[in-house]
Every structure is written in C-alpha cells, then in structure tokens.
Chains A and B, each alone.
Chain A
Amino acid sequence: ELKVEQNPLFLSMQEGKNYTIYCNYSTTSDRLYWYRQDPGKSLESLFVLLSNGAVKQEGRLMASLDTKARLSTLHITAAVHDLSATYFCAVDLMNYGGATNKLIFGTGTLLAVQP
C-alpha cells in the first residue's frame, strides 16, 4: 500500500523566515505534484515534478524531487502571511499492469505565517 507522509504536519513560522516541508513516499514514482488548499476551498496546483532531480520555483516557493530517495521538498523562502494555507504533496501512482494512474495525497502540512 502506498504511503505518502509529510512533515511537519503543522508549521508556525514568522514572516521573513525560511523553512522546508518534506514529502516521503513508499513506492516507485517519477511524478509528484504539490498543491495549496485554502480553508473551505479546493486545490490550487503549485508544481508538477516529472523526473528525478526536477526543481521548480515560483516566487517564494521552490520544489524538488529525488525519486531514488522517494523524497520531495517544498522550500519556503522569506515567508509572508499570504502563504498561510495547507500544502499537500501528491504522488502519481503510475500505470503499471494496465491499471489507471491515480493520485495519492500526502498527509498535508498546515502552514501559519505569523506577522
């Protein structure tokens, strides 16, 4: 059974600080997604990482993927209050043996950026 674990589950940080959220998964996959969810809302796509060593950056967020270690990171640089949300990684369970791909979500990280 695929497990996707994030840590920390809750992160309170001050504006201007840096921090990293980790996403570990238990099976082979070359594709990983990061999403943001605001309270009461659906998901906003942040990054799609499609291969080992992939790194993508958008504003104060940078995501990377190490498929050999089965690890993805989401790094926050100089946090601002607007980044407060819940962040999910999601692993694409690849199409092995004719089965349809499907996306399995991590446990989520609730980020609270304090002014």
Chain B
Amino acid sequence: GAVVSQHPSRVICKSGTSVKIECRSLDFQATTMFWYRQFPKQSLMLMATSNEGSKATYEQGVEKDKFLINHASLTLSTLTVTSAHPEDSSFYICSASDLGGNYGYTFGSGTRLTVV
C-alpha cells in the first residue's frame, strides 16, 4: 500500500529558530500534498495544500510567511516553521494524494513540535 514518511517524529527547538519538517511519498507520485496542524484534544486543521511545482494554497488565517511550504518534486514536500514561538507547538501531519486518486489520502506519522 501507499506509504508516506514524515520526519522528524519529534523536535524541540528554541524560540526564534526555524524548523523544517519533511514529508515523502515512498511508492507513489504525490501530485498534491496537504499539511495539517493538530492542537491537543482538537481536530486536524488544514493549513495548506500544495501541488508539485506550484505555490502552496494556504487556508484562511494561516500565515504563509511563517509556514513555508515547498513541493519541489512529486515525492517530497517540506514545511518550515520560521521564527518559531511556543504557540507554534503542535502536532503537524502531512498527507499526500496522487492525480488519479488511486491512493486516496495517505497520512504521514506526524511531527510533534515543541518550542521552548
């Protein structure tokens, strides 16, 4: 079945620094990737959608200059949290889908970000 690998699984960073999270589709071409954020005891909130080779489309209220998304190839998307602050601490989950919808939405294992 389709597999999406997400790294790192956990990261602790100091306030003001930047953190990069990677999301790779291992056995299919991910034409579209999605990034979600989940606060404790809450649902998943879609942050942005990116198509390979295009600029990401951000959901309302998500700062695109703070959450930089790059989807330069059909197997890799990255989310960079710039100038992180404690309120950015959250569980970030990526998801990937292919053009034909053959693999539906495949989710990564998530990244727990803690900003201290």
Contact = CB atoms under 8 A, between A and B. Distances in A.
Contacts of B104: 33, 45, 48
Given A100-B32, A104-B46, 6 more contacts: A48-B104, A88-B43, A101-B101, A102-B34, A102-B49, A105-B36
A105 B49 contact: no
Contacts of B44: 43, 88, 105
Interface of A: 33, 40-43, 45, 48, 88, 90, 100-108, 110
B46 A106 contact: no
B106 to A, nearest CB: 8
Contact residue range for chain B? 20 to 34
A110 B49 CA distance: 27
Interface string B30-49: 00101010000111111001
B95 interface: yes
A88 B93 CA distance: 14
Contacts of A88: 43-44
14 contacts: A33-B105, A40-B112, A42-B6, A43-B107, A45-B107, A100-B32, A101-B101, A103-B34, A103-B95, A103-B105, A105-B36, A105-B43, A105-B45, A106-B43
A38 to B, nearest CB: 11
Nearest to B45: A105
A67 to B, nearest CB: 18
A105 B44 CA distance: 6
B43 A42 contact: no
B2 to A, nearest CB: 10
Contacts of A100: 32, 49, 51, 57
B77 interface: no
Contact of B93 (A42, A48, A106, A110): A42
